[in-house]
Amino acid sequence: MPRICMTVAYVGTRYHGWQVQKNGTTIQEVLEKQVARICTQPIRVHGSGRTDAGVHAVGQVAHFDVPERMASIPWHKALNSLLPADIAIVRTCPVGENFHARFSATSKRYSYTLWTEPDYVLPQRAPFVWPVRSIDLEQMDAAASLLCGRHDFSSFQNAGTDVRQTVRTLMSITRTPGQYPGEWIFSFIADGFLKQMVRNIMGLLLRVGQGRLAANDALRIRAACDRTQAPPTAPAQGLCLEEVHYPGGLPWR
C-alpha cells in the first residue's frame, strides 16, 4: 500500500495527548477518523512520538498507508477540510514503505516557553507559556549546559513508558527571546526524549533560576538516575514539538 507522510500542527489544550486512549479525545484518534472517512476503511496513523495531554506541536510527523486508488489525492487539502480548527496538516508527501515516522527519525526539537513579565500574561499567549517570576536566566543557562551530552536521563523520566534503556544524547539546550517582552524560549534538541523529559528538565532549570538549587546541582541530579531527586514536572502548556529530523530530509510539497 502507498505510504503518505505528513507534518501536523495542533493546539493540545483540549486533547489527551497524541495516542489513542479510552478516557479522552486524542490527536491520533481525530486524524484516524478523518483518514478513514476519506478512504472508507480503518487506517492507522503512526506518529513520530507521543506528546502528552496539553502539549502542542507545529512539526509533529506522522505516516499512514492508503489503498492504491487513494495515493494521488491532495491529502493536505482533503484532511484540512475535515479537521477541527485546532489541528492542521502543514505538509504531505509520499514516502517509501521503509519509512517510519517514529523509527526513521534521527532527532527532534522541542521548545519550552516561559513568560517572565511580572504584571500580566497576554491572553493570546496564556495557553502556550509558563508564567514565572524573578528568575536568573543566566544561572538557568549554566545548568542547562551541564546536562548536554550523552547521558542516562532516568532522573528526568516520569513513570508510564516501558523503554529498554534511558540513555539519550541531548545535543543542545538554547535560550532565545520570544516575540514579546519577557517571553523566553528554551529549545531542546536530542536523538530521543524520555517521557516528560523536557518538562522535568525545565522544572530543574526553574529551581536553579529561583536560587533554590545551584547550577552545579544539575550534575548531581542527573547522575543520581533517580526521578525522586529531581524537582516537579513543569506544566504541559509551555511545551511544543517543533521539528522532527530524518536522514536526507523529506520531499515535502
152 part of the active site: no
- The pLDDT tens digits for 53-75 are 999 999 999 999 999 999 999 99
**For position 236, what pLDDT does the model report?**
98
CA 109 – CA 44 distance, rounded (Å): 25
**Topology match between the domains 3-104 and 107-243:** yes
Catalytic residue among 52, 86, 152, 226: 52
pLDDT in tens, 178-226: 999 999 999 999 999 999 999 999 999 999 999 999 999 999 999 999 9
Where are the strands (E) in the chain, listed by range? 3-10, 46-47, 56-65, 87-95, 107-115, 130-131, 149-152, 167-177, 183-190, 239-245
Convert the pLDDT of each residue in 142-184 to its tens digit.
999 999 999 999 999 998 777 889 999 999 999 999 999 999 9
Task: Report the length, in residues, of the chain.
Answer: 253
**Separation CA 173–CA 231 (nearest Å):** 18
Architecture field, domain 3-104: 2-Layer Sandwich (3.30)
Closest CA to 3 of 73, 116, 96: 96
Q: What ranges do the domains of the chain cover?
A: 3-104, 107-243
Which candidate, 173, 165, 214, 219, places its Cα nearest to that of 194?
A: 165
Domain at 107-243: CATH architecture: 2-Layer Sandwich (3.30)
CA distances from 10 to 25, 187, 228, 236 (A): 13, 18, 32, 14
Q: Is the pLDDT reported for residue 253 higher than 80?
A: no
Whole-number average pLDDT of the chain: 96
**What pLDDT does 159 receive?**
82
pLDDT at 162: 73
Q: Which three cell numbers stand for residue 218?
A: 544539575
Do β-strands 56-65 and 239-245 pair in parallel, antiparallel, or remain unpaired? parallel
Distance of alpha carbon 83 from alpha carbon 71, whole angstroms:
20
pLDDT at 251: 83
Decide if pLDDT at 120 tops 90. Answer: yes
